[in-house]
Amino acid sequence: MRGTRRRSWRTPRSLVVGSATLGIILAGIGVAVASSGDGSVTITKAGTVLDGRKIDGYVHIKADDVTIRNTAVRYGGAHAVRIFEGVTGALIENTTIQCTKPRTNGLVFGNYTARKVQVTGCRFGFLHSADAPATIVDSTWNGEPVAAGELPPDQDEPAPSEPSPTPGASPGGTPSSEAKPGAGATKTTAPNLAIPTSFPGPDNTGVPAGTKLKASGSLKLAQDGVVVSGLDIKGCVTVTARNVIIRKSRITCDSNYSIRTDGADNLLVEDVEIDGMGRNSAAVCCGEYTLRRVDISNVIDGPRLGSDVVVENSWIHHLKRQPGSHNDALQTTGASNIVVRGNSLEAYNPVTRDPFNACLMIGSTTGPVVENLVFEGNYCNGGNYSIGVRADLNAVNIQLRANVFGRNYRYGVIARPTQRGLTWDRATNLFVDTRRPVVG
């Protein structure tokens, strides 16, 4: 059994080897909130949430699925926030990183999502590579929208006083005007993207095997920072507060939405199973949430992609056809700052041979624009078009890259691949069976 228990705790302090500052080691801790004046922090517990901190030192992330939000980091050593090799799933959002020395790097070395992160005074603001990619949305480096850059040599050592500039950056760590990628999203250049060979499914999404669940009815979560874990929820969940976490739980809901964010901010849902009982208009609606390793089925539509949404490493499958429905695994009709990465999106019923409508439907039906959307590293099968691009779409900086596609569509893989404001990467969007580029 892998359960979650609540307890009160006091942060232990210990000397960090090789550092002159006192540091905090977070191990065996689920959520860390509302503290100020901390020294350096090392996180070794998977799933830790660091919220509302003021850190005068570095942050070392040595565990998977760590979240840092609403935090200020100030440091003058080698790297202010470092994700160590092999660690995945880091999410940094609504956070500021200030480097106090010109040789200090900001956020390194990949395998992270950065959303609403402001980096100032650093030699390099955001570092990542093809082997350890990053998705960076609505973030800035020295006040400018950031651009992708290659890792400099000797990445573990302090930078020389006059480093060679990376592509899209001018010497001294200030982004050049040519580097601005439209409205502020950044990416690793397409030819170097690692295209995944395996994808989420029943063995690595939803409630972890052996987790014991406690029966619950519908929930309204109105307290900031509340953590819900280990529940079998026969009903629906409404979130109206900030920084709520739902994990290792099952939600069985026969209403419009299994999870609804109503004035919520920064909702995190991970290792959760959603059964929409054939009634959910959308599994999750509508913005300000992150889904991680979520198993979604028996819904008319999967998550509705409002603004400030991340959907990663999740499995959306077995949609439910209803009279007149146009089923989409994912849909947005007007929003900004969306990341969809590393998911299995199955818009196809192999029994009835129903391709449904789309894995991803994009349009401007309810909002003026869809802006800063990254769709990468996903498996997608089915749909009239697997990627449905509506004629009414007003797009700004939509990136579709490094995905693989099945062939159970009705008309094709993508409609309108040349729509203005949308980039369809022909070199890295491949058929799953041949690994050859899709002809869009």
Contact partners, residue 139, CB within 8 Å, separation at least 6: 114, 115, 116, 117, 118, 119, 126, 145, 146, 184, 186
Relative to beta strand 54-56, strand 40-43 is unpaired
Nearest to 284 by CA among 293, 294, 364: 294
Beta bridge partners of 174: 170
- Do residues 129 and 109 lie in contact, with contact meaning Cβ atoms separated by under 8 Å? yes
Length of the chain in terms of residues written = 440
Q: What is the pLDDT of residue 440?
A: 54
Q: What is the pLDDT of residue 82?
A: 96
Contact partners, residue 231, CB within 8 Å, separation at least 6: 213, 214, 215, 216, 219, 249, 250
The first and second tokens of residue 302, run together, are: 């999967």
Q: What is the pLDDT of residue 278?
A: 96
Q: Which CATH architecture has domain 214-431?
A: 3 Solenoid (2.160)
Q: What is the pLDDT of residue 108?
A: 94
Distance CA(234)–CA(2), nearest Å, equals 21
Q: Work out the burial of residue 234: count CB atoms within 10 Å of its CB; fewer than 13 is exposed, 13-18 middle, 19 or more buried.
A: middle
Q: What is the pLDDT of residue 194?
A: 65
pTM for the model stands at 0.68
Spans of all domains in the chain: 21-188, 214-431
pLDDT in tens, the chain (440 residues): 333 322 222 222 222 222 333 445 555 444 444 344 578 999 999 889 888 899 999 999 999 989 999 999 999 999 999 999 999 889 999 999 999 999 999 999 988 988 889 999 999 999 888 778 888 888 899 988 875 433 333 333 333 332 332 333 222 222 333 333 322 333 333 334 567 788 999 999 999 999 999 999 999 999 999 999 999 999 999 999 999 999 999 999 999 999 999 999 999 999 999 999 999 999 999 999 999 999 999 999 999 999 999 999 999 999 999 998 999 999 999 999 999 999 999 999 988 999 999 999 999 988 899 999 999 999 999 999 999 999 999 999 999 999 999 999 999 999 999 999 999 999 999 999 999 999 75
Contact partners, residue 57, CB within 8 Å, separation at least 6: 19, 21, 23, 38, 39, 40, 41, 73, 74, 75
**What are the two backbone dihedrals, phi and then psi, of residue 190, each rounded to the nearest 5 degrees?**
-55, -45
Q: How many CA atoms lie within 13 A of 69 on its CB side?
A: 24
